Every structure is written in structure tokens, then in C-alpha cells.
Amino acid sequence: MLNRKMDTVYASDVLRQLDNVLIVTHVRPDGDALGAALGLGALMRGNLRRAQVLLPDPLPEKYLPLVRNADFLTEFPAGGLTQYDALIVLDCARNDRVAMGSGTDYPPQDISILNIDHHGDNNVQAEWSCVVPDAAATSAILVRIAALIGWKMTPQAATFFYLGIMTDTGAFRFSNTSPDTHRLVASLLENNADHDQVIQAVYFSKSRNQQLFEADMVQNYSKVDFDGRYAWAALPDEFFRKYGFSMRDGEMLIELLRELSGVKIAVLLYLAGGQVKVSLRSKDPACPVGPLARKLGGGGHEMAAGVTLKTSDLNSAAAMLREEVGKLL
């Protein structure tokens, strides 16, 4: 499949021509994935286009009140892809991460695909690709594109895009926050993005079980090595079962490790589907974790990345990560 690399101007020209699309994002969607997908769907419908959003994976519980009135599918559309002008893939860096639903492979055949993302190592197969690594979030790219097209920003779309930017910047704490980020957010608030609803969902909706889970993790599972520069935790299945907690609600869990004073790199390991999932974060540009994730077969940003290791041995994976992080430090 031919992959034409584009900037936001050309991407806006492509999107302007589309009237009927299916929008997808990555598996286990986080705030930016949800914000980008639901935001673009609401934006297109608000500007007299037809758009459906497919979210086949269970959503984080904290976002359920926010998406209560959103329009999206949880199963692959019965009529297949022939009913659409194009498939739009958002915030997804790799083919094997595209959430198409059970039994549906990516890339599909016989449909045009527009890929929009902010992960610099994006290699998703698509007819058109707009990848902007310096964007704070995929939601931020879509806000720029909407302005270039001249579409009216609806309050619902503004709220979802606000969610995407808010979560991917860590409420503007992360280094991907720029003056342009704040300008985009200001424009969303001017278009009636619901700040209070987003803040309640993201930061003030933690369950008691999650609070106990996090306290137990910090006290009994988190470790610090290399003179306090490396914080990590390896979480076994029984720990999740103890609190009835799922990593679909653990988007911000690794921040409990990264927030420690003196820490340069934080790593969280856990089992999923018989394999070890690894989240990596850095606070020091001199010690980026993106290259390490790519070395191990994963990907992501330079300061925030992830990888799935083809092993079920949590302890050996933790030992290997400790050795690799030691080389960085």
C-alpha cells in the first residue's frame, strides 16, 4: 500500500474531501486515543459529514461518564468497510496496535486509509500519513487540521480534544507542552470545551480499590536502584486480582514512580495475555527511553514508550530491564 507522507495542510485537504468514514485508534485506548477518535467523529458529524467511531476494547472506567452521550461502535460494522469512503487511523504507531475488533486484520484491503499520529516512529500502513512528532497529542493535530479546513468546532468535539491534550501532556506537566499547546487549548475552551467534566474524569474519579492498589504498590512493590535514579515495579497477576483492578484503568499508574525526586527513569512491568507489558518513562532528555523500547521491539516517544516482551517470566524481564536501564544511566 502506497504511503504518502503529508503535513497538516495536505492532511486537511484529504480530510476535507471525505464524507463518510470509519475512525479507529489503538488497542486499550488512553485519553488521547479516545479524545482524538471521539472528537473527530463529533467534529465531522457537527459539520454535516458522516462518521462512525469504532472502539472495540473496554474503556477505562473513569472515562465512562465522559463518553456516556458519545456515538461509537463497540463491534466491527456489520456492513463491512465498503460502506465508507475511507478508514481513519488515529494515535496508533504500529499495524499490530490498530483496534479493528476481533477477527479483523490490519491493514484491510480495498479502502483508502488516512493515518494521523504524533509518534515519531509511526510505521502504520496507509495511503496517506500525517505524523507530527512535535505535536503534544494527536488531538492537537486534529484541532489544527479542523482550523485549516474551516470546520466549526462543536462543544462535544472540543471537550474530547481537550481530554486528549490534557492527558497526553499530563495536565501540561510534560516536556511536550509548548506555547502552541496552550493556544490550542485556549481555542477549545473558547468553543465551550467542558473543562470541569474532563478534570473530574481524569483526576477526581479514582475508585477506592484503585487507591488501595496504588498505596500497596508503592509500599510493597516499588523499588529504587542506581542511587535513586531508577524507580520500577513488577506487578504479578495476583496483585491485580487482590483489588479487582485492571490496567485499562492504569494509564497514570507509572507516574507514581516517575514523580519521585531524583528519579530519571521509571519502568512498570505487568503480565497481560501471557506476555510481559512494559511501560517506560524518563524525566531526563539525556536518558531517553524511546531508543530502548525500539531496541526491544516496542516504540513510542523519546520520553514515554512501551514494549511487549515475549515472555511470561516477570522476574527475568525485570532483571533484563534493570540491566538495560543501568547502561542508560
How far is it, in rounded angstroms, from Cα 270 to Cα 237?
8
Residue with cell string 471521539? 38
Convert the pLDDT of each residue in 1-17 to its tens digit: 556 677 899 999 999 99
Q: Which of 304, 284, 211, 285 is nearest to 293 (CA)?
A: 304
Q: Tell me whether residue 112 is exposed, middle or buried, using C-beta atoms within 10 angstroms of its C-beta: 0 to 12, 13 to 18, 19 or more.
A: middle
Which residue spans of the chain are classified as CATH 3.90.1640.10? 4-203
pLDDT of residue 29: 95
- For domain 208-328, the CATH class is alpha beta
Estimate to the nearest angstrom the gap between the alpha carbon of 153 and the chain centroid. Answer: 22
How far is it, in rounded angstroms, from Cα 157 to Cα 159?
5
Handedness of CA 193, 198, 19, 3 (dihedral sign): positive
Amino acid identity, position 83: Q
Question: Before 108, cis peptide (omega within 30)?
Answer: no
Convert the pLDDT of each residue in 139-186 to its tens digit: 999 999 999 999 999 999 999 999 999 999 999 999 899 999 999 999
pLDDT of residue 2: 52
SS3 label, residue 34? helix
Lateral strand order in the sheet of 20-24? 4-6, 128-131, 112-117, 86-90, 20-24, 50-53
Instruction: Decide the pairing of beta strands 128-131 and 112-117.
Output: parallel
- Give every residue of the chain whose pLDDT is below 50, as ranges: none
How far is it, in rounded angstroms, from Cα 235 to Cα 270?
5
- 247's grid cell: 490496567
Largest CA distance in the chain: 58
pLDDT of residue 15: 96
Residues recorded for the chain: 329
113 neighbors 107 (Cβ within 8 angstroms): yes
- 248's grid cell: 485499562
What's the pTM?
A: 0.93
Which residue spans of the chain are classified as CATH 3.10.310.30? 208-328
Amino acid identity, position 37: A
144 neighbors 161 (Cβ within 8 angstroms): no
How far is it, in rounded angstroms, from Cα 140 to Cα 39?
11
DSSP state of 249: G
How far is it, in rounded angstroms, from Cα 80 to Cα 183?
39
What are the phi and psi torsion angles at 123 (to 5°)? -135, 30
Looking at domain 4-203, which CATH architecture does it have?
A: Alpha-Beta Complex (3.90)
